[in-house]
Structure 1
Amino acid sequence: MNIQFFAEHTDFSLSNEGVISKWIKEIIHSHKYSLSEINYIFCSDEYLLEVNQRHLDHDYYTDIITFDNSDEQGVIESDIFISIDRVRENAVNQNERFENELNRVMIHGVLHLLGYSDKSKDEKKAMREKEDACLSLLKI
């Protein structure tokens, strides 16, 4: 059960890694999944754009890309790339604290790994509600 945090092309570092790790593990276990490993890679817009282009053939900026590396149903093993630039901009645009937006994006990636989708309008609404429910459990 390992959650690690890395930075690529940014000087960002998470200040409350222990609390965030515990919260994420609780969310995963509450869904009856087990955790093998999650690597969060905080990066710049340009770095994540390159990941998006190289691995997904998408040529646009995004706040998060989640790679499901697990070969086993019910086991979480993932690399989650998060653009700190994009999260900061989204926080400003949504009049939200940066930390709150970052936590939302971090759990968003986990929710995808737990089987939640956000392709349709109804799925996006359900995803947002699930994010809110998860965020209400985070005690910082």
Structure 2
Amino acid sequence: MISFNYETDFKLDNEAKVSEWISNTILSENRKTGEINYIFCDDDYLHKLNVEFLEHDTLTDIISFDYSVGKELHGDIYISVERVTDNAKDFGVNLSVELHRVIIHGVLHYCGYKDKTDDDANLMRSKENYYLTALN
């Protein structure tokens, strides 16, 4: 089950459509949907988590905590709406596109994709782009 939670003044449009898209992405990656919680928050909220749990004193757009068991995906995905909004402006893309990219990015991490090396980041970006087209 995919749930959306809000710790800031933001509401995701079309929760049912986005949830179905996420579930279809998970199935396409030969995984099963477990309990996945999206928590939309602001920079301060996510910064505190980043410092407390990852010891990173930086702003970020997403932090995901993976509790998956085998091929069944479980976890909490925290997204800073402030950071995503700024990134959308910086990248010259629509906020909706950048938000959906970040939403699917977290699930792709649960599917085993990494983004620390250039090759891994390129594969991750390719997967993001592929699944973004499936949403439209």
Q: Deviations over 1:47-69 (max 9, x none)?
A: 00001111111110000001001
Q: 2:86 aligns with which of 86, 89, 95?
A: 89
User: Could you tell me how far apart the structure 2 residues matched to 1:86 and 1:93 are?
Assistant: 10
Q: Give the secondary structure class of the aligned counterpart of 2:112.
A: coil
Q: 1:15 aligns with which of 13, 16, 26?
A: 13
TM-score, structure 1 normalization: 0.95
In structure 2, the residue matched to 1:3 is 2
Output aligned runs, 1:1-140, within 5 Å. 2-8=1-7, 10-70=8-68, 72-139=69-136
Please tell me the residue identity of whatever aligns with 1:41: I
Alignment RMSD: 0.7
Moved over 6 A (4+): none
State the identity as a percent.
47
Q: Give the secondary structure class of the aligned counterpart of 1:39.
A: strand
User: Could you tell me how far apart the structure 1 residues matched to 2:27 and 2:91 are?
Assistant: 30
TM-score, structure 2 normalization: 0.98
Gaps of 5+ in 2: none
1:32 Cα deviation from its structure 2 partner: 1.3
Q: How many residues align?
A: 136
User: Could you tell me how far apart the structure 1 residues matched to 2:11 and 2:131 are?
Assistant: 22
1:133 Cα deviation from its structure 2 partner: 0.2
Q: Give the secondary structure class of the aligned counterpart of 1:137.
A: helix
Gaps of 5+ in 1: none
